[in-house]
Structure 1
């Protein structure tokens, strides 16, 4: 049995907590940022705001206190701290956690993004703020609703420590959740973050009703773009061909449950970004802010990322989606 604190009661954090409870054998705590939200989940035993329709088992303790989640009084501290906050909120949340952290606790990230101002990956933020803790990351194609419903899903856990990777693999694997492991933290993290940017563009194509040919081309050239940057940042090309690369990209670009794709669809239909974000009712489309960080990383490493460049122009420079697609299609010819 492992003692696991899930930090973040959005749809993904709640789904992972439900999956871990279904597996059995763990002591689980789910942390919600808002006391009112924590009280609602504890009382209703469901997350009506972010993941309605899926019971939160009684075995999951719910709290809004970070210290209570990771190091409760008169009880053993959590062994694994699963961070599922929005990527742009991770630094602030981790800073609040530091006074209660123990050196032996494992920090496992399930957030998929790159910090907007520093261009740091989630594990890099963790190493910076909590150098005494072991760190890993979780990636791969996984919609929260399907994980919560026990639909078959395969994910990847990446850590530089093989023994840690094996332990986490065993802790998370269940009949409905198959867990692979690798040692490529940069590749796994960047695959999960960059696919959200490409999914925005795939949504734009759908919103513009441009057909399946261009969607297939966008996904294919998107994985090439993602791989170039991941390798430049120390990732392995093979990782981007796996679950946290191609797998996550295909799901997020084609699945109707993808928030990033949904934002892109609405942009393609002509809606403004602020209106679309407001309609998400507090849910986060990570690709919107990751686009800026991805472009900054690309410029730092002198990597060409034309899809990301055009999405940034659509999101932040008021470029029309039609002009963005036209610019992509009329770039100078090159070999594949």
Structure 2
């Protein structure tokens, strides 16, 4: 079954390279100014059976992996939803749309009502996937039969997929871990140490689980690859853009504005949703304040430490 990846950034390109182990893949990008090697993925040559194109209308694959950043997805769907509808759409974005408060899968389902919507998420870096290093991900699809077909269509010897029907939990795990990774990076950047980072990650995971449960997710999902697994990776590695952004915040340093940091926008969206729904999310609220420049790292940490003592 033919597959196409929409979005030719580092992650989309890496997925196309990995999936080409099973057959031909088409990689679409709005503006592709490179051939043979994506400058965002240095050292990784495109296999011969990956076709790169900027013509979406020419892609007839029944399975489309949507590797468009969460904050750019609404505009993309506004232009192209009709061309996507009726197919299997696998969201690979991690975030919550600032404008609508919807997840990527929710946006796809609303724009393409005849499509089968799924989510591919979990602990992964583009460079690892592209180089064929062992990676395990979660494939979430509310339609169990469709999820089983997609699992077999997309798994490769190096890319192991675990299946779930809990789309909400899988998506929120992937979105919220970026927020906590920023907080963890800020603690390291400010010189607060690994013990402080461990506390932030642990309490941050409690926030993730609390928010996801309030939105109908299954508790076990957050304890899996798409939640805890992704959080561990993103909050501990300098390969993570969200962690590096947090480190820069903690150091009071600038950060490359051309680098996509999904957790910054997600923190703002989550803080608004949590306040509306009465869900306690102190770390996420402070990350939103840091990302917007309303508070500094010292003030944020002082506010966390001043919270009332409580049972774990």
Q: Which bracket does the TM-score occupy, shorter chain normalised?
A: over 0.9
Answering whether residue 115 of structure 2 is matched by residue 136 of structure 1, we say no
In structure 2, what is the equivalent of residue 313 of structure 1? Answer: 289
Instruction: Measure, in 1, the Cα distance between the counterparts of 2:255 and 2:116.
Output: 38
Q: CA RMSD in A?
A: 1.2
Structure 2, gaps ≥5 residues long = none
Map 1:65-76 → 2, pairs under 5 A: 65-69=55-59
- Within the candidate set 200, 212, 222, 1:240 is matched to 222
In structure 2, what is the equivalent of residue 287 of structure 1? Answer: 263
In structure 1, what is the equivalent of residue 198 of structure 2? Answer: 216
1:218-263 per-position Cα deviation (integer Å, ceiling 9, x unaligned)? 1111110001111111111110000000000010000110000000
Are 1:200 and 1:287, in contact at CA under 8 Å, matched by a contact in 2? Answer: yes
Are 2:27 and 2:52, in contact at CA under 8 Å, matched by a contact in 1? Answer: yes
Are 2:74 and 2:107, in contact at CA under 8 Å, matched by a contact in 1? Answer: yes
Q: Secondary structure at the match of 2:286?
A: helix
State the Cα distance separating 1:318 from its structure 2 match: 3.0
Normalised by the length of structure 1, the TM-score is 0.90
Q: Which runs of 4+ in 1 moved over 6 A?
A: none
Are 2:172 and 2:212, in contact at CA under 8 Å, matched by a contact in 1? Answer: yes
Answering whether residue 68 of structure 2 is matched by residue 85 of structure 1, we say yes
- Within the candidate set 242, 246, 254, 1:260 is matched to 242
Instruction: Measure, in 2, the Cα distance between the counterparts of 1:144 and 1:173.
Output: 16
In structure 2, what is the equivalent of residue 276 of structure 1? Answer: 255
State the Cα distance separating 1:290 from its structure 2 match: 0.8
Are 1:192 and 1:245, in contact at CA under 8 Å, matched by a contact in 2? Answer: yes
- Within the candidate set 46, 53, 58, 1:56 is matched to 46
Are 2:12 and 2:67, in contact at CA under 8 Å, matched by a contact in 1? Answer: yes
- Within the candidate set 9, 14, 25, 1:28 is matched to 25
- Within the candidate set 24, 37, 40, 1:46 is matched to 37
In structure 1, what is the equivalent of residue 188 of structure 2? Answer: 206
Answering whether residue 82 of structure 2 is matched by residue 99 of structure 1, we say yes
Counterparts in 2 of 1:254 and 1:298: CA distance versus 1, 3 Å: same
In structure 1, what is the equivalent of residue 165 of structure 2? Answer: 183
Are 2:85 and 2:113, in contact at CA under 8 Å, matched by a contact in 1? Answer: no
1:48-104 per-position Cα deviation (integer Å, ceiling 9, x unaligned)? 2x11110111111111122123xxxxxxx211111001101111112222232352x
Instruction: Measure, in 1, the Cα distance between the counterparts of 2:279 and 2:148.
Output: 34
Instruction: Measure, in 1, the Cα distance between the counterparts of 2:234 and 2:198.
Output: 13
In structure 2, what is the equivalent of residue 11 of structure 1? Answer: 10
Aligned length: 312
Instruction: Measure, in 2, the Cα distance between the counterparts of 1:90 and 1:11.
Output: 16
Answering whether residue 125 of structure 2 is matched by residue 149 of structure 1, we say no
In structure 2, what is the equivalent of residue 225 of structure 1? Answer: 207
Instruction: Measure, in 2, the Cα distance between the counterparts of 1:102 and 1:256.
Output: 38
Instruction: Measure, in 2, the Cα distance between the counterparts of 1:68 and 1:300.
Output: 43
State the Cα distance separating 1:300 from its structure 2 match: 2.5
In structure 2, what is the equivalent of residue 73 of structure 1? Answer: none
1:190-234 per-position Cα deviation (integer Å, ceiling 9, x unaligned)? 100010000000000110111111111111111100011111111
1:148-176 per-position Cα deviation (integer Å, ceiling 9, x unaligned)? 11111100000011111111111221221
Instruction: Measure, in 1, the Cα distance between the counterparts of 2:251 and 2:85.
Output: 49
Instruction: Measure, in 2, the Cα distance between the counterparts of 1:290 and 1:309.
Output: 11
1:10-55 per-position Cα deviation (integer Å, ceiling 9, x unaligned)? 1110010000012x23x31101111x42xx12xxx1112x111101
